[in-house]
Amino acid sequence: MAEEPKDNKWSRRSIIKGLAGVPFAGGILIAAASEVMGKQNERDKILNSLNIEAERPPATGSMSGDPLRVGIIGYGGRGSHLIRVLGFADNEWLAEMENNAVKNPKDTRLKDFMEQEDLNVKLTAVCDVFDVRAELALNSFNTPTNKIKRYRTHQELIDSGEVDAVVIATPDHWHAPISIYALNAGVHVYVEKPMTHNISETYALREAAKNSSAVFAVGHQHRQTQSFLTAQSVVKENVLGHVSLVQANTNRNDDNGAWQYHIHELASPKTIDWQQFLGNAPDEPFNKEHFFRWRKWWAYGSGLSGDLMTHDYDRINCVLNMGIPQAVTASGGIYTHRDGRNVPDVMQINMEFPDFSTGSSQVDGKEKGMTLVYSATLGNQFNRGTVLMGHDATMELGNRITIFADAQSTRYRDMLQSRQMNTETPIYQYDPAAEGVDGITSATSKYFADKGLLWTYRDGKRVDSTYLHLREWLSCIRNGGNPSCGIKEGFEEAITAHMGGLSYKLGRRIEWDREAEIIKPIDGIDFDEVLLQNTETYQSV
């Protein structure tokens, strides 16, 4: 530049130096635009060929009209959550959440509760056999606008004429008796899972629900999860091809997860109506641990098969609608919590569906049949996802859906060969938090989503699926319609869980007779006696 006349800024060289950045800037902008558009095109091509509809759950109806009078039976941990969702948070919870919100600004549970829609419900009755819990409800919910009364038994509560509907969150052995009593009285029922505790009451409850005008719903709230509805579309469009194996898992490694719940310091025969708690369970002297940690005993709970497998079974049943398995085999043991419990803490349940098919991309008749493997441990919390494995693709199913093409797929052979698809990049990804669906994502955004950081559920707002599930039940009561998890789904869930429990306790394969709708009898075995016997495995007497 030394040779350049210094003051002539309009010389050719000066102009080049002045404007050199312009073509670069233009080129970079064009490159970015074509990068974005190109990826979008590739993505659109794949998405169009898959034709998956990112479903939104059907909108539930209006909550207008007279307030619905609800009673809560069983105001424990789960019961208080259900009631909170209906708009009633007790004083203890509010104080705890205020404290948490101050400590951690990311904890928005209190704010979320405050912003929740008014479901037009009055909480008029509570029944809990533990005085401390019943009084907490009375003290929290007896307000000028809401009068609540305590009842000693569920019969008194249901017969009081003060409730239109009940929410049942008792130990498992009370689910069916209370549900049946309420349905016979024409009172609407929302009951926690598992729907029943033994086989005969499963049939009795089905009869009661069929003969009652009341609305019956089982608390499998994940039926409201957007991703599961989208997964239904994935299966319908045969994106996965023939699914031969489904894996679902439970992995927990903490006291709470192993049902080692806190034993309240005020628990005593004076504060707990022990006989009322026992109900139809075998007689037992007062036992605080049995009362608070009832999930650890077959007498009141149903272990991994009833407590946690039911979640996974119903999730898959919601997506595949495969019904009751033709055969179930189960195994496991008490391996990590040898604390006097008699339900297993490691359990594998294989559910066989030899006639079921999700569809096929190959010649007719080549593929048929599926196994659902449920594998659970309460001694390790490594996250194993739910995986549906098809001939053409594999779907990871959670709050998000991720689908990978299979290298040997028939359906995607051409797209794989032309490198429009590859087996490492998801061919479809669905995240209810994102604006739309995304066929191709970076490792980083996958990480964020896996961490649950992008979770939102409805219109960009984090919504509790239990809230949506209860709202659906309320809407069916007010506006008609059938809950997504009603008696049919509940029956399938309960029978499958009991088959798992039976197989484990008997160490035998348990089969379902689809025509007769019964578990195939085994000579000399009374299935209910097996399930209810309060021992780790069945001891014939």
Report the nearest approach of other proteins to the CB of residue 28 (Å). 5
Given 56, 97, 274, 436, the residue binding other proteins (CB under 8 A): 436
Q: What is the three-class DSSP state of 361?
A: coil
210: contact with other proteins by CB under 8 A = no
Smallest gap from Cβ 48 to other proteins, in A, equals 18
C-alpha 339/C-alpha 210 separation (Å) is 41
Taking the least distance from each CB to other proteins, the nearer of 286 and 448 is 448
Site for other proteins contains 114 (CB under 8 A): no
Sign of the C-alpha dihedral, residues 295, 299, 302, 307? negative
Establish if 383 lies at the interface with other proteins (CB under 8 A): no
One of 161, 365, 460, 524 touching other proteins (CB under 8 A): 460
Asked if residue 285 binds other proteins (CB under 8 A), the reply is no
Tokens of 190: 């929302």
**Residue 389 to residue 405: CA distance in whole angstroms:** 10
Of 7, 66, 115, 515, the one binding other proteins by CB under 8 A: 7
Strands in 121-127's sheet, in edge-to-edge order, are 149-150, 121-127, 68-73, 165-168, 188-191, 216-218
Q: Which of 115, 424, 435, 523 binds other proteins (CB under 8 A)?
A: 435
Instruction: Tell me which residue of 352, 171, 315, 304 sits closest to 235, measured CA to CA.
Output: 315
Among 208, 248, 378, 449, binds other proteins (CB under 8 A): 449
Q: Long-range contact list for 80-86, CB < 8 A, 24+ apart?
A: 81/466, 82/167, 82/169, 82/190, 82/192, 82/219, 82/466, 82/470, 83/123, 83/137, 83/167, 84/113, 85/116, 85/464, 85/466, 85/467, 85/470, 86/119, 86/121, 86/123, 86/167, 86/470
Of 112 and 159, nearer to other proteins (C-beta) is: 112
Which tokens hold the place of 469? 């599930």
Q: Which amino acid is at 198?
A: N
- The first and second tokens of residue 313, run together, are 């079974």
Of 102 and 407, which CB lies nearer to other proteins in the complex structure?
102
Does residue 15 touch other proteins according to CB under 8 A?
A: yes
**Can you tell me which of 62, 114, 207, 447 binds other proteins, judged by CB under 8 A?**
447
Number of H helices, E strands in the chain: 19, 16
Residue number with CB closer to other proteins (32 or 266): 32
Pick one of 9, 152, 366, 520: the residue that binds other proteins (CB under 8 A).
9
Among 204, 267, 327, 434, binds other proteins (CB under 8 A): 434
**For other proteins, which residue of 3, 25, 115, 254 counts as binding (CB under 8 A)?**
25
For residue 82 the two structure tokens come to 């259900």
Q: Is there binding between residue 65 and other proteins (CB under 8 A)? A: no
With binding defined as CB under 8 A, does residue 6 bind other proteins? yes
Token pair in block for residue 88: 């009633």
Distance CA 372, CA 388 (A): 9
Closest approach of other proteins to the CB of residue 42, in Å: 14
Q: Which is nearer to other proteins, 8 or 253 (CB)?
A: 8
User: Dihedrals φ, ψ of 136, to 5°?
Assistant: -60, -45
Integer angstrom CA distances of residue 459 from 107, 152, 467 = 20, 42, 15
Q: How far is the CB of 431 from other proteins (least distance, A)?
A: 10
Q: From the CB of 453, what's the least distance to other proteins, in Å?
A: 5
Q: Which is nearer to other proteins, 48 or 418 (CB)?
A: 48
Work out the number of other CB atoms within 10 angstroms of the CB of residue 494: 31
Angle in degrees, CA 431, 377, 243, rounded to 5: 50
Residue choice 264, 448, 481, 482 for contact with other proteins (CB under 8 A): 448
Least Å distance between CB 2 and other proteins?
6
Q: Which stretch binds other proteins (CB under 8 A): 8-16, 135-143, 230-238, 349-357?
A: 8-16
> Under the criterion CB under 8 A, does residue 41 sit at the interface with other proteins?
no
Place of tokens 């729907």: 195
Site membership for other proteins, residue 444 (CB under 8 A): yes
| Site residues for other proteins per CB under 8 A | 1-2, 6-7, 9-10, 14-15, 17-22, 24-25, 28-29, 31-33, 35-37, 105-106, 434-436, 443-445, 447-449, 451, 453-454, 460
